A and B are shown apart, each in its own frame.
Chain A
Amino acid sequence: MIEIKNLKKSFGDNLVWENVNLTIEDGTTLAIVGKSGCGKSVLLKHLNALLYPDEGEVLIKGRNVFQLSYVDLRIVRQKFGVLFQGAALFDSISAFENIAFPLRYFTSKTEKEIRSRVMDCLEMVNLSNIGNKGTSELSGGMRKRVGLARAIVLEPEYLLYDEPTSGLDPETSDEINDLIIHMTKNLSITSVVISHDMHSVLRVAEHVVFLDEQKLSWQGSIDELRVADHKRLKEFTKASEYQI
């Protein structure tokens, strides 16, 4: 379980959000929605303490990540797989090596075992034959999927997805959505998904939070979302439905 308590973050004089309270149950998928620039990525980066808040805490299994020693924090971080908004692939090594990277440093697998695990992950994101390409040869959507393969390679307990389907065609988007659902259901991973795409949100998530006006403006289940009586949230979901 991840509990977010009274979180507040600002950069200099620029308040991003405050009073954020949120609980994410194990084995569920939460979607974070909101306008561009409302602080979704910033919120995601607090879950594994890539950013530190002005106030508040994030409890993972009851322990506040912001108070962990760096050694303990690194152990907690290894339980997270993160897909960054721009994929954040290491551009000095090939796509294959990007995915093999955590395996090489954090496991004692043999070369053969590494190969087969990387291949499995590439297959899951539907990219079986791109292995030795350099990262600069990949399209935006391919980079996303390599980033996703890298995020799941160490079999994390928590997966954080920053816009996993943006820039993908509808078919690949659906495959990624299926993958997210598969990870949550079959491997009982806890997921947090940032998305602009309400179609994806409705498919993958059980709970939704809406970040707006520098606070957590609305939260509830998918069923509640369909009937929510919240003006700005309605405007937001309506706007994204017209995109389809």
Chain B
Amino acid sequence: MQLFLEIGKYSRLLYEAIRSATEFKTYRKNLFSEMVKTGTDSLGIVSVAGFFTGAVLTIQTSYQFTSALIPKSTIGAITSQSMIIELAAVISGLVLSGRVGARIATELGNMRVSEQIDALESMGFNSVTFLVIPRVVAGILTFPIIYIAAAISGITGGVLAGIMTGSVTVHEFMEGARMFFFPWDVAFGIIKSFVFGFVITSISCYQGYFASGGAEGVGHATTRATVLSCIYVLLSSFLLAAILL
């Protein structure tokens, strides 16, 4: 019962956001600053996470395939394809659930409990247009870029790990990567990152926007935002794979 009420409230917030999305003038400024914030929040940490994932993947693959019958290029193929299809998107999704999700929920939660959202409304602003739309749109627009950064650093990490451990040369790695490079995989990853961008920012906006009960309430909202974002990132990743692959 509680769940249905929550879903109803969440849908109404999104509906309100979509309905007022035409008031571009109101949120133009916020949209750009949100995109910058989301980008700077994430690019560094996501690149690091991607880099090490790619590195570990290369080492593990070469450990598992010791047979001489399997060409070394397979290592490159597996690392790069796994990064592009699944890992770059999911890892950036999980990292950003913590980073961006927590920031958004804290920001909006503080604005709610200190009556700043009431103040916006009382001046005649639509607070949803002003606060929710720029954050969600910024998420949808920036996440694909972050995904690409994660994929590139993952493959770089894979190549470097191959060189360092001597398990695969750059040439062999790239040969495999090229052989199993399908544009559709990249498209799939980008679609996924659009969805993750939407899921994380909309859930976190919802939690922050309806926070109540002072500083403690903001803390709860932030925790819920990060936990739920992680769960829904994994769930939507599963659903997209089931539907699109």
Contact = CB atoms under 8 A, between A and B. Distances in A.
Interface residues of B, number: 14
A91 to B, nearest CB: 7
B141 to A, nearest CB: 21
Interface residues of A, number: 22
Nearest to B118: A50
A177 interface: no
B125 A105 contact: yes
Interface in A51-94: 70, 74-75, 77-78, 80, 82, 84-86, 88-91
Contacts of A199: none
Contacts of B40: none
Contacts of B125: 74, 105
A106 B124 contact: yes
Interface string B86-125: 0000000000000000000000001100111011011111
Contact of A88 (B26, B115, B124): B115
Contact of B124 (A78, A84, A90): A78
A50 B115 CA distance: 11
B126 interface: yes
A85 B114 CA distance: 9
A154 B114 CA distance: 22
Nearest to B30: A92
A190 interface: no
Nearest to A85: B115
A215 interface: no
B126 A88 contact: no
Contact of A82 (B110, B111, B114, B119): B119
Contacts of A90: 111, 116, 119
Most buried by A among B111, B114, B115, B121: B115
Given A86-B114, A105-B26, 6 more contacts: A50-B122, A75-B124, A77-B124, A88-B114, A90-B119, A154-B123
Interface of B: 26, 110-111, 114-116, 118-119, 121-126
10 nearest A-B residue pairs (beta carbon): A88-B115, A78-B124, A88-B119, A74-B124, A82-B122, A84-B115, A77-B124, A102-B123, A88-B116, A50-B118
